[in-house]
Structure 1
Amino acid sequence: MIARTALVAAGAGLIAAAPALAQGLPAITLTQGAGGTSYSLSLQILVLMTALTVLPSLVLGMSAFTRIIIVLSILRQALGTQQTPPNQVLIALALFLTFFVMQPTLTTLYAEALSPFLDGQLAAEPALERGGAVMKEFLIANTRSNDLLMFTDLSGAGPYAEPKDVPFSTLLPAFMTSELKTAFQIGFLLFLPFLVIDMVIASILMALGMMMLSPMLVSLPFKLLLFVLVDGWALTVGSLAATYGGG
């Protein structure tokens, strides 16, 4: 349900922007032959296809995906395992962890905005307002106040009386900047122990006169052993999920 909620919520904003979509206004009509056979492409389908192209940007910019994938990439680089795990595995792990982190927000979005809209109990504009308020609550809870104030000053439209008054045009870049900063801070902390192992191994090899032997090659088994002994994947994934208090 969560994946369906994310997909339909992305299309809801674009569907609401077009008038009279409920009647299925034909965008393309083709008449063939004397019988007048017509083929029409509903405008809803065009809007849905457009929403599918925008969905990746929404997932990157309005969810926990950015922080998670950056931290996992830095962790792989710190381990020195080249392309192991491969990019497909890291992206899949980041997506599933993103859905896990965003589950409370998406559940609330579905219950308060999307479900009433699909059942015909709520018009498009009020549904968008409710959904926007739910997403703003998550974004603001995970955005640094300094970044939000910086973009508010740059836009020249603030200050705002309440957090819900902050427009998405100001909130989204502030959220992305905050996510990048937090991801690099976590990545720095993950990189330190592996850097210490590399330095120790390099010092030992230099003391033994093994100048031609790559320290990275020798330290790799020790880094993998340390990572496995401390259950590194569980610690990393659990810590990433715990950093989101607004989910």
Structure 2
Amino acid sequence: RRDAERRRLNQEANAWFRASVRSGRLNELYEQLVQVIETICVLAVIGLGVWEISGGRMTLGQLLAFAAFLGYLYPPVRGLAQLGLTIAAATAGAERLIEILDVRPAVADPTRSAESRLGRPDGAVEVREATFRYPGAETDALRGLSFRVDPGELVIVTGPSGAGKSTVSKLLLRFYDPDAGSVLLDGVPVGDFPLARLREYVTLLPQETLVLHDTVRANIGCGRPGASDEALVEAARAADAHDFIVKLPDGYDTRIDPN
């Protein structure tokens, strides 16, 4: 997957670079073209003015005044032309934004939920012959994986980087659906659970935990603004963190830094 993402990133970066170079060239061409047009217009006005002066139909003062007014006219006209380029760029960005907003997730809530007939699951997890390949990857992240974890049982999945350990948790949380096989919770496919409920039942603890540059108290309560101190302590006890926290220099008011 890492190699596939690297190739995709290189392709996108190269495409962006080529587009940026082309945009820069067009902008330079536009600036030079505007300068040429302005110069031609000035020369044309001067030539026409000289011809009119020679015929007695215009004075030198009138020609100079007209040339001065023409100089005031150029900046707004140039601004209107630049506005057209800005609108074109904004339109392209808006079209891309609309494309993103119109994208429908590959994983969606089921039309018929199993929650009403099952209730809260006990926690038996089973993976049956699961095969999965990330989009754009050339090899399967998982192939024919099967295992079962009963409630209260501890199972450790080990392997080198890229072996698919994180992929198992992503399938259980339905960030993706397996290409083949199934993932079951209490014997019911996880696809039969509403996504919000499924992700309440399953907790994922990533290897690198994100913490805020704030106090321990603020980090615990960031998901529930306004939670009482008793609720924060209860949550810390449930996570077996209370004893560790109270040993910190300022307890729950100890400031911590990311990483």
Q: Which has the higher contact order (CA 8 A, sep 6+)?
A: 1
Same fold (TM over 0.5): no
Q: TM-score range by the shorter chain?
A: under 0.3
The structure with the largest strand share of the pair is 2
Say which one has the larger Rg: 2
TM score, norm. by length of structure 2:
0.22
TM score, norm. by length of structure 1:
0.23
The structure with the largest helix share of the pair is 1
